[in-house]
Amino acid sequence: MKYEQFNTQLLTLLGGKKNIKSVAHCTTRLRLTLHKSKLAQKKEIEKLDGVIGVVENRIAYQIIIGTQVTDIYNELIQLVGINHPSDSDGRSKGIKGVVQSIMVVVSETMSSIVELLLAAGLVAGVLTILTMSKVLDANSSTVQIFSAISSATFYFLPILVASAAAKRFGINPYVAIVLAATLLSSGINGAEGLILFGVPLKPIVYANSFIPILLAVWFLALVIKQLQLWLPKALHYFLLSALALSIVLPVTLLFFGPIGEWIGLGISAFLYALSESIGNWFVVMLYAAFQPFLIVFGAGNFVTPIVVHSFATQGYDPIFFAATISDFGVAGAMLGYFLRAKIQKEKQLFGTVGLSAFMGITEPAIFGAFLKYRRPFLAVMIGGGVGGLLAGLMGVKRTVYAWGLAGLPTYLDGGVRNFIWMMISVIISFVVAGITAYGLGFPKAKEHFEDEEGVSIEEPSAIVKILEKTAQGEVIPLSMVQDQAFSFGALGKGIGIVPHADTCEVLSPVDGVITLVYPTKHAYGLQTASGTEILIHIGIDTVNLQGKYFDSFVSMGNHVKVGDKLASYQVSKLRKASIDPTIMVVLINEGEI
């Protein structure tokens, strides 16, 4: 396991395996549901190599990691070994607890399948462009074959939801898939004249639906859990799945199917009423303006079921396409900061996360820059709001599940006028947000100082002069360090030191007590008499060396004075191994040194 050490440390800091109800992930974050959030050591988790930040709310405990999150997640679930329904144990009490559980389940289920929905949407969008440009004949077999990717994905959506929800509840996904496939069979899906136990069944189309199968799999998990308790283990193999399906299918047909239809109709009625009373433009404008806040709180996927229902009932989405307008606002804000920044490392940061937002992935920008500088939120609210207002007034809609730059051509499916106004809306959002961000600039708390030689640094020169005593080398701003956990400021303020010599001695910059000596000898913690904590981290990804090329001269609890040797390491060996030898010296908490 590549990330076994990281995940082992993470589990310990989260309060152990028993404290974890469930684990899921999105593009850049681990999303966990914990039994007791207070057991999680947030500050210590934020110190882990590779962790950009931690966002804690009532919906989920989110650990922002980056693009390697999938690999970390795949190894973490093996270590956790959740094999039971995590949210069906009745621990959530009261209305708030029930609502919270529902939000967690919906969000994590959609997180697992949203990539497939996007893929299906993009394929449909490309086919639309090719047929409208006469490259392909709309009636050709080629178009028919590739169209099946999109149509099948949405038609068999209940099967995808069943698989994702089953994993979320900790049951055999194949049992849930069989249940979904049964609902989609020609004898049940939309069939008229069905009678179950003498009760006439209303014809319900389960294809393209979300809510009925989600409710059904939740109930399936409860039934399986009880049957496992009641049935002798010797009979589990023969009877468990058969009895569970025989119990859940009638309940689904009698209750969950109609409930799903009622909820869908209720959502549609609410949106229709809102659009009729205030105007659809108002809803589109609000969503485009505030979507980054939904991302922060992990609520970005809550609207997916509504979008899917809109496609199934209306054939288009008249509201939540505004996410793309918001994404372009995020990209524009990062361009404004890119033009405003003077330090090369910051330009790299804003340019990189801005390009990601341009393609429809905004988490790196929001967690890497927005939370740090705050003012970009206002820029997107203004830029996204203006773009969303225009799109809403012009009646823009999307008929294909797609977003970001790659999804823009799919708006041609709604007509040339639809495409033109969408393009104008995203351009306005991008430009207005960019101009606003450039004008707002950096908060004063984050402004940079210059030392006596005119070198731009991130801390007042008095603090730098103390921290730079750690080692001999070139002092650089922390934002220039090639490690997001440090350069984004998630761990605190500080400096980087690039050593020149082949062997570097790491010294204590203060009088204090050693509070941390990492087993691999690459990280040290100190605490001064006034309570200020300093973290010294040697190199990037050096934890993988397991102490090779490092020597340590202190232990936890040792008292040290300024200039005492903490460690030494072979810089030349790290460089030969293509490992960055930069030392990060960070103030974990701010106080008198």
pLDDT of residue 413: 82
Over the stretch 235-245, which tens digit does the pLDDT of each residue have?
Answer: 888 899 999 99
Residue 50: CATH number of its domain: 3.30.1360.60
What is d(CA 451, CA 273) in angstroms, rounded to the nearest whole number? Answer: 60
Structure pTM?
A: 0.48
Q: What burial class does residue 114 get, using C-beta atoms within 10 Å of its C-beta: 0-12 exposed, 13-18 middle, 19+ buried?
A: middle
Q: Which amino acid is at 168?
A: R
- Give yes or no for residue 205 having a pLDDT over 60: yes
What is d(CA 427, CA 438) in angstroms, rounded to the nearest whole number? Answer: 16
Confidence label for 290 from pLDDT (cuts 50, 70 and 90): confident
The answer on 395 and 313 residing in a single domain is yes
Over the stretch 157-173, which tens digit does the pLDDT of each residue have?
Answer: 889 989 988 887 878 89
What is d(CA 330, CA 295) in angstroms, rounded to the nearest whole number? Answer: 12
Is 104 within a domain? no
The answer on 542 and 404 residing in a single domain is no
The answer on 261 and 293 residing in a single domain is no
The answer on 392 and 361 residing in a single domain is yes
pLDDT of residue 349: 74
Beta bridge partners of residue 29, listed in sequence order: 64
71, 211, 285, 438 from 216: Cα distances, Å:
30, 9, 35, 50
Task: Extract the tokens encoding 154.
Answer: 């949405």
The answer on 248 and 295 residing in a single domain is no
Task: Extract the tokens encoding 261.
Answer: 């239809």
Residue with tokens 């549609």: 268
Contact at 8 Å (CB) between 217 and 204? no
What number is the average pLDDT over the span 127-146?
83
Task: Extract the tokens encoding 564.
Answer: 């005492």
Is 346 within a domain? yes
Over the stretch 100-121, which tens digit does the pLDDT of each residue have?
Answer: 556 566 666 766 676 676 677 6
The answer on 373 and 395 residing in a single domain is yes
Task: Extract the tokens encoding 428.
Answer: 């306005």
Given 26, 183, 466, 540, the catalytic residue: 26
Q: 26 catalytic, yes or no?
A: yes
Q: Which of 36, 63, 82 is the last residue of a domain?
A: 82
470, 488, 556, 590 from 531: Cα distances, Å:
19, 24, 16, 9
Over the stretch 389-426, which tens digit does the pLDDT of each residue have?
Answer: 999 999 999 887 777 777 788 888 888 999 999 999 99
Residue 547: CATH number of its domain: 2.70.70.10
What is d(CA 279, CA 289) in angstroms, rounded to the nearest whole number? Answer: 16
Is 451 within a domain? no
Is 240 within a domain? yes
Contact at 8 Å (CB) between 171 and 181? no
The answer on 284 and 266 residing in a single domain is no
Task: Extract the tokens encoding 361.
Answer: 């992935």
What is d(CA 218, CA 85) in angstroms, rounded to the nearest whole number? Answer: 9
Contacts of 436 (CB under 8 A, 6+ apart): 333, 336, 378, 379, 382, 383
Is 452 within a domain? no
What is d(CA 73, CA 82) in angstroms, rounded to the nearest whole number? Answer: 13
What is d(CA 215, CA 254) in angstroms, rounded to the nearest whole number? Answer: 12
Total domain count for the chain? 4
Q: Which of 234, 251, 273 is the last residue of a domain?
A: 273
Is 24 within a domain? yes
What number is the average pLDDT over the span 445-474?
58
What number is the average pLDDT over the span 281-303?
74
Complete DSSP assignment for 479-530:
GGSS-HHHHTSSS-EEEEEEE-SSEEEEE-SSSEEEEEE-TTSSEEEEE-TT
Which range marks the domain in which residue 550 is found?
461-587
The answer on 331 and 396 residing in a single domain is yes
Q: SS in 3 state form for 555-569?
A: CCCCEECCCCEEEEE
The answer on 285 and 251 residing in a single domain is no
- Give yes or no for residue 258 having a pLDDT over 90: no
Closest CA to 405 of 122, 63, 56: 122
Mean pLDDT score of the chain: 80
For residues 572 and 77, which has the higher predicted lDDT (pLDDT)?
Answer: 572
The answer on 260 and 152 residing in a single domain is yes
The answer on 306 and 245 residing in a single domain is no
Q: Which of 413, 445, 477 is the last residue of a domain?
A: 445
Closest CA to 516 of 46, 49, 44: 44
The answer on 346 and 208 residing in a single domain is no
What number is the average pLDDT over the span 129-152?
84
Closest CA to 122 of 321, 400, 312: 400
Confidence label for 565 from pLDDT (cuts 50, 70 and 90): very high
DSSP 549: T
Is 476 within a domain? yes
Question: Which spans in 133-194 are helix H?
Answer: 141-155, 157-169, 173-184
Complete DSSP assignment for 378-421:
HHHHHHHHHHHHHHHHTT--BSSS--HHHHGGGGGGG-HHHHHH
Strands, DSSP E only, in 315-471?
449-450, 456-457
pLDDT of residue 575: 86
25, 450, 456, 468, 494 from 461: Cα distances, Å:
41, 8, 10, 10, 11
Contact at 8 Å (CB) between 250 and 196? yes
pLDDT of residue 245: 95
Please list, residue by residue across 9-34, b when 16 or more beta carbons sit within 10 angstroms of its beta carbon and e when fewer do: bbbebbbeeebbbbbbbbbbbbbbbb
Determine phi and psi for 457, rounding to 5 degrees.
-135, 170
Is 509 within a domain? yes
